[in-house]
Structure 1
Amino acid sequence: MRTWGGDQVDEAVAGCLAALRPVVDRDWAAVKAGRLEWSCHTTAFHIAEDLFAYAGQLAGRAQEDYVPVELILDGDPDNSGLLQVIETMGVLLATTVRATPPGVRAFHPYPFRSADREGFAAMGIAEVLLHTHDIAEGLGLAYEPPAELCEGVLTRLFPHVKPGPAPWPTLLWATGRGDLPDRAPVTEWRWRNNLVIDAERLTLTGVRPAAARDLSLGGDGGFAWAEDGPYEGTRDAAGMLVQAYEAGVHRPEFGVFALVRHEDGRAIGGMGFHSAPDEEGRVEIGYDLVPSARGQGYATEALRALSRWALQRDDVRVVFATVERENKASRSVVTRAGFTQVSDDGTHLAYVLRRGSA
């Protein structure tokens, strides 16, 4: 899968500069930026602030809160000076993203209190695209960023949003800046960075729709896999995730997780939910491992961690798993993870883990 991050930050910032440089002689302070209450001048500085802040969070590996630092302009720069600040802060974020290893995460509140390098890149790109749009709208300029950039932001920060007829109008709608046919206006929204769950020897890393699509098509999904991975079951699960995303019913926290081994950063399998919990609070879980990682307790460890996370939620009461009768290894996994067998149809065995027993 193509690396997504620093190059896309550069592209977004270059598009911002190209759109706004022809009008640096206008009075940006006197014009409101689109639907915002801010002026175009304030909004331009806000773009630079966001790029700076995201670079700082990621570079500093902040874990509990925002790094206590702010960007302050020297004097009162004109509009050309503001664009120079945006350009500089864009380089800062792009360089930081490129220098950050894939597994590193830093604090961001929405929605799971952390983001990785792709998440920070996507948030920075979104700020550039959306606020350039706001300024352009205020100044009466035409502006439309590349569809690929918009789609990258949607699949990384808005995985719960059903794709629309085109990425840019969908991104504008998702952030309360536009309308889409047959969809109610958006009045409140937040980023949705992917979820990670730590286990003893593994990290369960939420698979984004963009990565799932790549996996389903035979790619690596952006993960460094063990030599014999990914396994067929992970690719099938990724395809189901893509279908749910395209149908607008994907709930990212109940999607697919890549099992990434701490010792070498290799993905060794996939685990996830078949869908969101039903009305009775029941959710079904499935998993697989690459052959070289089997028999070492990884699946049991991951299943315990993911089940524990699920049963701590108010909307989950029971975790359910179905195992082929002949699959003795998988039966051992669910049993060691604390599941209890509840049925046997001759071909498959059903197991459950209830709240209070995890």
Structure 2
Amino acid sequence: MRAINGDDVIEAVEGCVAALGPALDRDWKDVRAGGLDWSCHETAEHLTGAMFGYASRLVIGAQDWLPAGITFDEDADAPGVLEVIRSAGALLAATVRTTPRQVRAVHPYPFGSADREGFAAMGIAEVLLHTHDIAQGLQIAYEPSEELAESVLTWLFPHVQPGPAPWPTLLWATGRGELPGRAPVTEWRWRNNLVIPAERLTLTGVRPAAARDLRLGGDGGYEWIEGGPFEGTRDAAGSLVKAYEAGVHRPEFGVFALVRKEDGRAVGGIGFHGAPDEEGRVEIGYDLVEGARGQGYATEALRTLAEWALARDDVDTLFATIEGDNLPSQRVVDRAGFTRATLEEERVAHEQHERDSGLQLYIRRR
């Protein structure tokens, strides 16, 4: 798992051009692209239009669809098509490289927007998958680098358990192949990360690739204030990676970086200890870099995430466990609408859910 950027877009596009180059003398309009209903020519047009659309929205941070697209000329031949693909790829790569980290633009799947890494990953996914489709139709060999396929999986398919190898897993996850022991995929969507706005903060969903980097001591792609990230955030990122590798990670119930709106710097982390159980109960935790404490950030983040969670149909009760001598954190949960559990509720939690008896339990219900 690694970061994703404009260079990866260029690598994917150049791989596409190299793979399809041997078929430049073919009429792509008369050949169906793999399992798609489009011809190879139509698939290439879609691929080009997708990259152009991603770049045009990202470059201005568009919050609505733009009334523009790309259509090939009627007499466009295969060499010309590949040149347009290269051009659109270069536009997307340049846009990804120059767009500020905090900018997001409209994209529907599944939370309404994507950042620069999301658009880079989507562009790469379009290139890899549709080059596969075109190559299949033209009966030529194509296989991208495993690193590119893994990047797409860890940035756009956090809900998909890693398979024996990234490329076959990506083909399976998009209904284009089989994996031993897994049912065929007939419907699929990739998933950009969830971002929840608060007053002074943005709660930014941490992807598996970023979580692994945090776990290993990196910055996860965020610009942290001095002293960050705190150890609790690294531990939570490690739990996220374990859940991803086990195939039980639900991205909306993962970890969020707390990014300050005024300067785009991360000041802490917040998140869930897994998905809600069958009774709609889920535990929540948080921490802040020392330099960000005492400014109300934890209260703001906890209140925001709690309200988001309790507005869902699958969440009825939130739990927070706090050490008995951690008075600042107790004041945070109190200000965020949590109340101290009764002795009976604490007893049940300790017995049935194996919670440490030295921790105090706080609850907020719908």
Conserved 8 A contact 1:343-1:351: no
Say whether the 8 Å CA contact 1:20–1:136 is kept in structure 2: yes
Partner of residue 43, structure 1: 43
Q: Distance in 1 between matches of 2:342 and 2:228?
A: 32
1:24 corresponding residue in structure 2: 24
- 1:231 matched residue in structure 2: 230
Residues 106, 114 of structure 2: 8 Å contact kept: yes
Provide the C-alpha distance between the structure 2 equivalents of 1:125 and 1:304, rounded to a whole number of angstroms. 36
Structure 1 residues 75 and 137: alpha-carbon distance in aligned structure 2, compared to 1, 3 A threshold: closer
Distance in 1 (CA, whole Å) between partners of 2:72 and 2:176 is 28
For the pair 1:199 / 2:208, whether they are aligned, the reply is no
* CA root-mean-square deviation: 1.2
Q: What CA distance in whole angstroms lies between the structure 2 residues aligned with 1:35 and 1:95?
A: 32
Contact 2:40–2:137 (CA under 8 A) maintained in structure 1: yes
- Mapped to 2, the partners of 1:229 and 1:314 lie a distance apart of 34
Q: How far apart, CA to CA, are the structure 2 residues paired with 1:331 and 1:3?
A: 36
The 4+ residue runs of structure 1 with deviation greater than 3 A are 343-346
Structure 2 unaligned regions, length at least 5: 347-356
Q: Which residue of 1 aligns with 2:280?
A: 281
Q: Percentage identity across aligned positions?
A: 71
TM-score, L = length of structure 1: 0.97
Letter in 2 for 1:354: R
- 1:272, CA displacement in angstroms? 0.1
Unaligned runs of 5+ in 1: none
Deviations 1:41-78 (A, max 9, x none): 11111111111111111113111x31111113244211
Residue matched to 1:354: 365
Q: Is the 1:94–1:121 Cα contact (8 Å) retained in structure 2?
A: yes
Q: 2:170 & 2:307 partners in 1: Cα distance?
A: 34
User: In the alignment, which residue of structure 1 is the partner of 2:351?
Assistant: none
Quote the Cα distance in structure 2 between the aligned partners of 1:179 and 1:250.
22
Is contact 1:2-1:222 (8 Å) kept?
A: no
Equivalences for residues 1-358 of structure 1 within 5 A: 3-63=3-63, 65-343=64-342, 347-355=358-366
Please report the TM-score for the alignment, with normalisation by the length of structure 2.
0.95
Is the CA contact 1:343–1:349 (under 8 Å) kept in the aligned structure 2?
Answer: no
The CA deviation at 1:10 is 0.4
* Per-residue CA distance 1:312-352 (angstroms, 9 max, x = gap): 11101111111110111100100010101014666211111
The CA deviation string for residues 119-148 of structure 1, in whole angstroms up to 9 with x for no partner, is 011001000000000011111111110011
CA distance in 2, matches of 1:2, 1:164: 17
Q: Give the whole-Å Cα distance in 1 for the aligned partners of 2:214 and 2:60.
A: 31
The number of residues matched between the two structures is 354
Separation of aligned partners in 1, 2:284 and 2:3:
29
Shift of 1:118: 0.4
Q: Distance in 1 between matches of 2:327 and 2:188?
A: 46
The 2-side partners of 1:33 and 1:175 are apart by 15
